[in-house]
Chains A and B, each alone.
Chain A
Amino acid sequence: MAPKVGIVGIGHCRFGNSSDYDLVDVIAYSANDAFEDAGGLQLRKQVDQVFVGNMAAGMFNHQTSVASALVSRMDMEPVPAELIENGPASGASAIRLGYMAIASGMADVVLVAAGEVMRSVSGWEATNIVATMAHTEAEYNMGLTLPGFAGMFTRLYMEKYGMTERDLALVAVKDHANGALNKYAHVQIPVTIDAIADGESANVVNNYVAEPLRMYSTCPISDGSAAVILVNMDSPKAKLFKKKAIRIAGIGSATDTHCVHNRKDPLVLDAVRLSSQIAYKMAGIGPKDISFAELHDAFVIFELLNSEEVGFFERGKSFIGVRNHETEIGGRIPINTSGGLKAKGHPVGATGVSQVVELVRQLRGEAEESRQVKDPKYGMAVNFGGFGNNVITTILAKD
């Protein structure tokens, strides 16, 4: 029987603009934060394996071999260390591989640290670098970007299910309300529906990015890092850490076609549904057991689609749930209590770990009081790689 794997340390920096800092320092900051949370920096010597999540440091920062650089920066040699790259799901993939390393018996303590410094280049260049995750010949060469795909995707959804641009804005208002309360969020300013949808100046304040997606339907370009320490809960080493472990109850992963146009129904995110089914089965629970969720919302349409694919809403009904306040903190199923990628920010390689840090904070009862979910038992995170073509779902449990 595989050992139980838990999280005993979390670290996070404030997301935003860290372009004056070195990427490896930014990641090491959160790793140090995680060790301090777990009981002290001396615990780094207990680590059997380091996994680093990062998407594109070679292009953003002219830095490769980030894992080797990190262990040296943190005086952790000769610990084994590898870089995990899975686009914007690099962070969750690194956690999944950390879980596998412990479950296999090859490690008892794993540091997973992830980060990205994207604002070292211009916004145009960052958009271009992120677009390299698309199919080179059939998508990237056309000039298509991730916002472009999300725009086409959103139009399909609106046409099929009757969602409006105002519904998209309602998701953003909810996410920014949560982000304004999160000390780690990039954007800590709430927005009103009047400012971005109903008011006279809304078209100016909330301009189109990729029609029908507007600025407030799109995440900012952010820098930042996050880290978690995983332990074999049955190992004697687990006793070295002062924090009670939050257990990884389920973790699933699935892939879909690289080209979006090759999906039978482009609105169906098979990899989200399949990865969540694997995670549910492993945890022995279903959607109704989840207390709250962090769903990858690089574009707010993803939050809606993900919430349907993981079973919180029927297909085509999630935006009705948002209208009815069901996804707010205190609602039936709070979604993106951190502010999500929309408000907290989306340093691509860091996001998956950042989502899991939020799950731990909520499950420990350590989120800011004004946004703490009441007595949560299970938290779920969905992290997208590519345009939904490589997805990891993680379920954490408070035992």
Chain B
Amino acid sequence: MIDFSVYETQVPHISGYKCENCGTIFYPAPMVCRKCSQKRDPTTGRGWETFDLEGPCKLLTWTRVWNLPEGFNKKYLMFGMVEFPNGLRASGRIEMEGDPKMGMDLTASVIEADERPGKPVKVFVFS
């Protein structure tokens, strides 16, 4: 029996990666640890922990882009670069009224987006 409810309960997430050998954290995933040279096998994930990268973050810089690439039907989108409390940084979209302020506190969440052809992709939204 196919349980279609499974699809409704899947929440998109983006992972950070932690080297179990030395504890160094990364985003996005490396194939070798910068600090201790531990390799990462993307098929087994052995030797590496993953954790959800979301929640509170601080805005480092931002832009409002008016010439979006093919597939995007909006007039503009805002993008930003943020830093999480654990020191990891990420780039993604900003959704808020008015202009963001550099240094402001935001919350990162993850959505699935399908503007471009192909499989939907996971996207950070900072709000």
**Is A270 part of the contact surface with B, judged by Cβ < 8 Å?**
no
Distance A259 CA – B30 CA, assembled complex (angstroms) = 11
Q: Residue B81 contacts which of A137, A159, A266 (CB distance < 8 angstroms)?
A: A266
B70 x A125 contact (CB < 8 A): yes
Q: Residue B123 contacts which of A131, A141, A159 (CB distance < 8 angstroms)?
A: A141
B: number of interface residues (CB 8 Å): 32
Distance A374 CA – B80 CA, assembled complex (angstroms) = 44
Q: Name B62-101 residues within 8 Å CB distance of A.
A: 62-72, 77, 79-81, 89-93
Q: A127-B70, A138-B27 are in contact. Are A208 and B64 (CB under 8 A)?
A: yes
A143 x B67 contact (CB < 8 A): no
CB distance from B39 to the nearest CB of A (A): 18
**Is B121 part of the contact surface with A, judged by Cβ < 8 Å?**
yes
The stretch of A8-16, A36-44, A81-89, A145-153 that contacts the partner chain: A145-153
**Is B20 part of the contact surface with A, judged by Cβ < 8 Å?**
no
**Is B28 part of the contact surface with A, judged by Cβ < 8 Å?**
yes
A143 x B93 contact (CB < 8 A): yes
**Is B122 part of the contact surface with A, judged by Cβ < 8 Å?**
yes
Q: Residue A156 contacts which of B60, B67, B115, B122 (CB distance < 8 angstroms)?
A: B60
B71 x A128 contact (CB < 8 A): yes
Q: What B residues does A152 contact at CB under 8 A? A: 61-63, 79-81, 91
Q: What B residues does A259 contact at CB under 8 A? A: 28, 91
**Is A255 part of the contact surface with B, judged by Cβ < 8 Å?**
no
**Is A370 part of the contact surface with B, judged by Cβ < 8 Å?**
no
Q: A137-B28, A142-B92 are in contact. Are A155 and B65 (CB under 8 A)?
A: no
Q: What B residues does A122 contact at CB under 8 A? A: 70
Q: Residue B28 contacts which of A123, A125, A138 (CB distance < 8 angstroms)?
A: A138
Q: What A residues does B68 contact at CB under 8 A? A: 124, 127, 143, 145
Closest to B90 in A: A261
Q: What B residues does A155 contact at CB under 8 A? A: 61-63, 102
Distance A147 CA – B81 CA, assembled complex (angstroms) = 14
Q: Residue A143 contacts which of B60, B61, B77, B89 (CB distance < 8 angstroms)?
A: B77
**Is B36 part of the contact surface with A, judged by Cβ < 8 Å?**
no
Closest to B92 in A: A142
Q: What A residues does B67 contact at CB under 8 A? A: 123-124, 127, 145, 147, 209-210
B91 x A142 contact (CB < 8 A): yes
A261 x B81 contact (CB < 8 A): yes
Distance A211 CA – B80 CA, assembled complex (angstroms) = 12
Q: What B residues does A147 contact at CB under 8 A? A: 65, 67
CB distance from A150 to the nearest CB of B (A): 8
B79 x A148 contact (CB < 8 A): yes
CB distance from B110 to the nearest CB of A (A): 11
Q: What B residues does A261 contact at CB under 8 A? A: 81, 89-91
**Is B22 part of the contact surface with A, judged by Cβ < 8 Å?**
no
Q: Name A349-384 residues within 8 Å CB distance of B.
A: none
Distance A342 CA – B121 CA, assembled complex (angstroms) = 33
B122 x A260 contact (CB < 8 A): no
Task: Mark B residues whose CB is within 8 Å of A.
Answer: 27-28, 60-72, 77, 79-81, 89-93, 102, 113, 115-116, 121-124
28 contacts between A and B (CB under 8 A): A123-B67, A124-B69, A124-B70, A125-B70, A127-B69, A135-B28, A137-B121, A137-B122, A141-B121, A142-B123, A143-B69, A143-B72, A143-B77, A143-B93, A148-B65, A151-B63, A151-B64, A151-B65, A152-B63, A152-B81, A155-B61, A155-B63, A159-B61, A210-B65, A212-B63, A259-B28, A261-B89, A266-B81
Task: Mark A residues whose CB is within 8 Å of B.
Answer: 122-125, 127-128, 131, 135, 137-139, 141-145, 147-148, 151-153, 155-156, 159, 207-213, 259-262, 266
Ranked 5 nearest A-B pairs via Cβ: A151-B63, A128-B69, A141-B121, A261-B89, A124-B70
